[in-house]
Amino acid sequence: MDMPMTSTPGWDVVGATLLVLWALAMWGAVGVLAYANRGPVRPWVYRGSAAVIGIGVLGQLGHVQEHIAQAGYWLGHPNSPAWMTPWGTTLANGLQRVLPDRPTFGMELLHLTGNFIFLAGLAGVMVITRRALKTRARRWAKMGVWMQGLHGLEHLVLTVSVASGSRAIGLSTFFGLVDAGPGLTTYRVWWHFVANVVGSIIFGLALYHLWKERREVRATFSVRPLPDVIRQAA
């Protein structure tokens, strides 16, 4: 997948930096919430997890539209190089500043970041349903975490391979064994389109069941008052 290499204005770098900070902040929040949720019931974990999930939804909406746009462009230009939206190109150009001598590094890092924002949203569902083990929301979220975790690993391998100076190596590139061209572009565009659409559907189903089971899930964060006998003894 080729990425336009143009001079990078300051705003491109600002946008790229904010995107990376967004991903880091989400995973920092997931870590804090997951750790806090291991101990006694803390109602603020429920609110924090809900916030992470909501922000993850926003991130995935932006992420999946990029893949939908790429697939739509391919339908009209099947023999052209892969295309990115103007805002996607802007962010990728900003990230490219990290390794300017690796032509597609910015694009790879952009998709890696987007996938980890998506994965953080799914992880938020796992945190909020930790004590609601039999809910459908948790089952769908677990499926999503496994699938998106593997997808994120694919992007990590792609990014690291490009950063090391080799071709992009991964399942979606035939492990770098196929030369760039319409065939490889077609395969990669549709590979990631399907992975993101299926992942988004799974996330959507997890959210649907989370909404239906919200009372059951919220009840697991209720702090029950101590019985009078225990309270008096204390």
Mean pLDDT of residues grouped by 10 in the chain (234 residues)? Answer: 54 95 98 95 96 98 96 96 95 95 95 97 98 97 97 97 95 92 96 97 98 96 62 48
Domain that holds residue 18: 10-233
Q: Would the pTM count as exceeding 0.75?
A: yes
> Is residue 41 in some structural domain?
yes
Report the alpha-carbon distance of residue 204 to residue 220 in Å, rounded: 22
Contacts of 232 (CB under 8 A, 6+ apart): none
> Is residue 2 in some structural domain?
no
Instruction: Name the residue among 71, 61, 83 with its Cα closest to residue 3.
Output: 83
> Is residue 3 in some structural domain?
no
> Is residue 225 in some structural domain?
yes
pLDDT for residue 231: 46
179 C-beta neighbours (distance < 10 Å), count:
9
36 C-beta neighbours (distance < 10 Å), count:
15
Report the alpha-carbon distance of residue 14 to residue 123 in Å, rounded: 27
> Is residue 203 in some structural domain?
yes
Q: Provide the token pair at 171.
A: 């399942």
> Is residue 216 in some structural domain?
yes
198 C-beta neighbours (distance < 10 Å), count:
14
> Is residue 29 in some structural domain?
yes
> Is residue 96 in some structural domain?
yes
pLDDT for residue 227: 57
Instruction: Name the residue among 125, 121, 124 with its Cα closest to residue 139.
Output: 125
pLDDT for residue 230: 46
- Separation of first and last alpha carbons in the chain: 66
Count of domains observed in the chain: 1
